[in-house]
Chain A
Amino acid sequence: MRIRVATMGLTMVVGMLLVIQGGCSKKSIQSGGDAQSSDRGMAKSGGPAPSAMGSAGSMGAAPNLDAPSATFPDLSLSSKPEDPETGGLRGFDSVSGGKAPSEERLGGGGTMLAKVEPSESTARQIEEIRREQAKEQAASAEAGLRDVFFGYDSWTITEDGRQSLTQDAQWIKANAGALVKIEGHCDERGTLAYNLVLGEKRAKAVRNYLVELGVGANRLSVVSYGKERPFCNERSESCYQQNRRGHVVVRSK
């Protein structure tokens, strides 16, 4: 009996302390695995307005929640359908007395996968991508646009790079209708993900320098390919050097 009273007392004290703790800390204690309750109303200043998703495609376009991207499937786990073919294990059946185990029929192959058939439309799309790329290459070669090369882990534009960009800027200013894209590329060292960030830093360094030289920012777009579209596939410094690049191209569209 005495023990029970003591336990109750302890529980109450701990409970009280928890309440007090909650009261004197600015941050409430998060309970459970879901941070949902603490998310609301905590958006940081400087963050986007709560409808910034889905400005498909065009750079700097106003956020638009009515874009097709605004509808997507229910991802909550409660909506998970049972998968009778591949789901839970059923345990072993007794085989005493020479009885055969009950039959489990297997289909699918684990996760059910829809077959992707490269259809006519994807073939057309692939052909279109190839054509656009060839067009860009030809236009950029004709314009004589020069690329910028970077040091290992670096996005600083070198003296050589500044000279190339001075030439590029002259051509861009002289061809008022042209739109220019700067692709950021990296060598194969480092992680795929961080190289996408590094590639963007390189592309933006090029863009910013062109803007400094008087090119209108609205004529320049940037895209990072990280280490996913290398110019050169050998494992040597001369090859790596070629891949650490801000590639300046005339946009086909």
Chain B
Amino acid sequence: MNRVIIGLMMTLCVVVGAGLFGILDSRATDVFLEATRPDFQKIPIGVFGFQNGSGPEWLGGRLEEVLKADLQRSLVFSLVDLPAIGVKVREVSTTDKAVFKQAAENGVSVLVWGKSGQKNGSKDSELLMDGFVYDSGSDEVVGGKRYVGSTSVVRLMAHRFADELVFRYTGEPGIARTKIVYVAEHGNARELFVMDYDGYEPKQITADGFLNLMPRWSPDRRFIVFTAYRSRNTQDIDILELATGKRWTLVSMPGLNITPALSPDGNYLAFASSQDGNSEIYKLDTRTKTPQRLTVNQGGDLSPTWSPTGREMAFTSDRGGAPQVFVMSADGSNVRRLTYEGDYNAAPAWSPRGNWIAYVCRTAQRLYKLCIVSPDGQKRVQVTTGPGIDDSPSWSPDGRHLTFSSTVDGKSHIYMVDTDGKNLERITFGGTHNSSPSWSPAL
């Protein structure tokens, strides 16, 4: 009897095991439901502008300009040109039903307007922005926001308002208040800077006078991990706390210490080091400070990037001769090659939605452009085209854009582009060499 049961169980094991493995394998790729489906209809939105009161002359125009750019980049809304459909733009109030109706009849779903100026009775010349929202679906003024602060937060007021709108209409955090950390040439050195996602307000965060490379955010946006050169002769992986400027060395192994990446839960640091001869991928438990080597082969392994669940990593390896993108489980098992087209594919970045891995692909014309591939390798799309060396792709937290460096305009600068290759936008203009951008998580 027992033997029969064991036999039965073993048979079941083989049959069901094979079946379940099929299921598990397809699950292991972290494919999420795509919120940005190709048939997603953007929400038509009209911006009346900001009536400027007592504040500086530029205030209303600035708020309107920043808000419109944010709404455009959200890819959630499409901006309607109100004068073009015969809607007068100025002097709207919350009771202006006729204007709302006119816009709604012309297909506008959401209307936004506001007031700006000096805050009444404020002694330190504080500025104020009021923003209001009308929704044609419910035919009512949904509500408003009032922001108060110094001139240095004017852009932030508009960004915050844009994020409120994106959240209200999608339930997802917007990207208007996200940041990009990047490397900028500074004299003979390369230092780290953090700027707003639209390229404004760059702030220097390191000043060591030599090379600081490959910065990445911690999942809570409090820290930056990066490669720093010590005394020009060795590399460390350092971590910097943005609020305090405090800095620690996380890894200092002999040889290369490059391409650090914190896991989505912040508990592991994946990186590449060559202490064992050639570059291999390691994982450091940041709680126990215990390292674990994940790759074992004669080729160079580098650039680990975590899947959003933390269960898998994509990485670059030249174990077959030329660099290609591979995927493995976070414990180093289940290694499989992901890219087969072309003889140079590197610098992978797993999208925050899990459904794409962006990387640098060398085209048949030997150009270095951006490609995306699904984690099962079934779908592959080239995102950027034309001249220039593209490098270091990094995803926006909403999974709709990539930031990257490119030499398309001569010097290396930071750009952003939608995942379908549209809306290529240069976001750094100053400096002699900007590279290695990394997009922060959303707030």
Contacts and interface: CB of A to CB of B under 8 A. Distances in A.
Contact of A116 (B178, B204, B252, B392): B204
Contacts of A153: 322, 344
Interface in A93-110: 93-96, 98, 100-110
B265 A98 contact: no
Interface string B318-338: 100011000001111100000
Nearest to B225: A75
B256 A224 contact: yes
A127 to B, nearest CB: 8
Given A33-B311, A88-B443, A191 B289 contact: no
B242 A112 contact: yes
Contact of B368 (A55, A77, A80, A189): A189
A52 interface: yes
A110 B179 contact: yes
Contacts of B146: 93, 100-104
Contacts of A23: 13
A197 interface: yes
A57 B12 contact: no
A87 B266 CA distance: 19
B4 to A, nearest CB: 15
Contacts of B267: 34, 36, 75-76
A110 B253 contact: no
Contacts of B331: 35, 38-39, 42
A126 interface: yes
B360 A47 contact: no
A113 B146 CA distance: 24
Interface string A65-81: 10111111101110010
A70 B289 contact: yes
Interface string A44-65: 1011101111111101110001
A228 interface: yes
Contacts of B242: 111-114
Nearest to A152: B366
B234 A59 contact: yes
B65 interface: no
A248 B44 CA distance: 62
A126 B189 CA distance: 9
Q: How large is the interface on A (under 10, 10 to 19, 20 to 34, 35 or more residues)?
A: 35 or more
B422 to A, nearest CB: 24
B419 interface: no
Contacts of A61: 254
B139 interface: no
Nearest to B235: A223
B265 A197 contact: no
Nearest to A117: B207
Interface stretch (B35-43, B100-108, B216-224): B216-224
Contact of A105 (B148, B159, B189, B231): B148
Contact of A190 (B148, B274, B344): B344
Given A27-B333, A111-B440, A113-B194, A191 B207 contact: no
B381 interface: no
Contacts of A50: 290-292
Contact of A44 (B9, B332, B344): B332
A17 B291 contact: no
Interface string B177-216: 1110000000111100010100001011111111101100
Contact of A55 (B231, B254, B258, B272): B254
Contacts of B81: none
Nearest to B280: A47
Contacts of A194: 300, 302-303, 316, 318, 323, 346-347
B253 A52 contact: yes
B291 to A, nearest CB: 5
Contacts of A222: 255
B244 interface: yes
Contacts of A91: 143, 164, 167-168
A21 interface: yes
Contact of B177 (A44, A76, A110, A225): A110
B436 interface: yes
Contacts of B332: 42, 44
A23 B296 CA distance: 28
A72 to B, nearest CB: 4
A191 B311 contact: no
Given A86-B443, A111-B221, A194-B316, A53 B252 contact: yes
B347 A223 contact: no
A192 B194 contact: no
A3 interface: no
B209 A126 contact: yes
Q: Across chains A and B, which 8 residue pairs bring their CB atoms closest together, nearest first?
A: A92-B143, A126-B209, A47-B293, A114-B245, A69-B249, A106-B149, A24-B13, A101-B144
9 contacts: A17-B20, A21-B16, A39-B330, A44-B332, A48-B275, A122-B208, A193-B392, A194-B300, A194-B323
Interface of A: 17-18, 20-21, 23-25, 27, 29-30, 33-36, 38-39, 42-44, 46-48, 50-57, 59-61, 65, 67-73, 75-77, 80, 86-89, 91-96, 98, 100-119, 122, 125-126, 129-130, 132-133, 153, 181, 188-194, 196-197, 200-201, 221-225, 228-229, 235, 251, 253
Given A65-B289, A93-B146, 14 more contacts: A24-B13, A25-B21, A35-B330, A47-B292, A53-B251, A55-B253, A92-B144, A101-B130, A106-B149, A110-B156, A111-B242, A129-B209, A181-B233, A196-B213
